[in-house]
Structure 1
Amino acid sequence: MISKVYELLLLRRVRRGEIPKHIAIIMDGNRRYARRRGLPVYMGHFFGSRKAEKVLEWCRELGVRTVTLYAFSTENFRRDEEERRHIFELFKKEIRRLLNDPRTHRDRMRVRVVGRRDLLPDDVLEAIEEVERETAGYDSYYLNIAFAYGGRQEIVDAVRALLRDVRDGKVRPDEIDEALFSRYLYSDNGYERVDILIRTGGEQRLSNFLPWQSAGSLTYFVDVYWPSFRKIDLLRAIRTWQGLRARYYKHPA
């Protein structure tokens, strides 16, 4: 009861301030959550996917237009084959759930997957292409799912693509700036600028997630495992960001 009252008060306070445009989340702690409860590891990923659905709902309620979720890194391919198989199967199901969820279409949420697609099985690619095709025209909210993603690899891929265009005469070297380079990243429409980067699970590192996009953003670490992440935790992160923004504009560096 007390926590619910606190959540409502915090929500009221946050809504009085500026709302971040883009929140990125490292959803860490699924496996530890499952092990603590004596469950198979894949159940942690299942509960984590349900939490992601809830957090997306909270973000839309608040008016956060872009959310990027770190679901599976290139380093995660080192995990054992059975766990990878469960993750791919769950990801495919969740992508299709997003496609069939009336809220996706009601809220006009565009869904995109960013990462090394060449590393993914054909059935996963088919599900990705279907949801991206069906939501391509939406422009109210954006969900980016980082899957088979590595931040340094993204920058390398962007440099290669840019160099090809310079070689082919499509881009002049003197035209290159941050805005142009951002268009060569895996996605666009605000993806290149993160306001808040949240990591759950108690680890205080960024794990090669959005190094270009998170420069200058607030990094907010939360001790709870991802399936236990609460609306209060999200609101506290936004409140912290609002406080930093207010101080910056009052006393800019």
Structure 2
Amino acid sequence: MDASAEQDPTFRIITTLKNILFNTEDIQQSRPLISQWHEISKTLLVRHQRRLRAAAQAYNWTNVCEQLDKPDCMQTLENVIEDATSRHPQPENDRDGSIQAESVPMGEAKSLRTLETDSSHQPPSNGPPPSLSANGRCSIICLDTVSTVPALHTLHKTTYRAPYDAARERAGITKCPPGEREVLLFNPEWEVMEASLCAVYFYRHGKWVVPPSESGGMVSATKLWAIDSGFCTERPIKLDEVEDGENVWLSNALRGFFLGKISI
């Protein structure tokens, strides 16, 4: 990372999550469904706090560490998120320790319809990857053409996104959502790091595995959840073992877990 980027006063450590705002009618119609969603959100929020805390420690932002270590930290995060005005809040910390949330509109609200059909925000069941029909919906994943050197900004999510933006530009997918197109980043040792906007999971020897942070990729909230739930374990994935046409899982906190297909 350019040294000037971290010195930029707008530089932040961040995490992105999905927050659904329910109206009174929604709450009256489907209390169990909404309660289930809130439990999932709390489960993920704990892991968002963990990744923010790890990033603050890595950057030696002691004021942020102190804020995130406070007993009421989780309540503070919940309050910041609830104050956000959209369904896509992005909690962030500056080096002085303040916790803020930036909101990004995600289109027309369809809260209950989304929840009724949404199984994506929990780790998938163990077992082989689901087969996809010729017209099956998935993300098409290509390989980057240039290696990415692991650094603090690849291990922790920040407002500095240059390596990921560059990978997406090389792949020609700058305007594509990750549910449609993705690109795999790899380090100089030819180990898969992650996808540009997602964690990626491979099926190997009857088990799901995810590239470890030692390969240079981020420890996202959904990746932490997948590991903690027993869905997957960490192990290095060499680029030459990634096969054209193989099905994988992808995840991020906004879209949950969804299928992808490697296209080399």
TM-score over 0.5 for the alignment?
no
The TM-score by the shorter chain falls in which range? under 0.3
User: What is the TM-score when the length of structure 2 is the normalising length?
Assistant: 0.25
Which protein is richer in strand relative to its size? 2
User: What is the TM-score when the length of structure 1 is the normalising length?
Assistant: 0.26
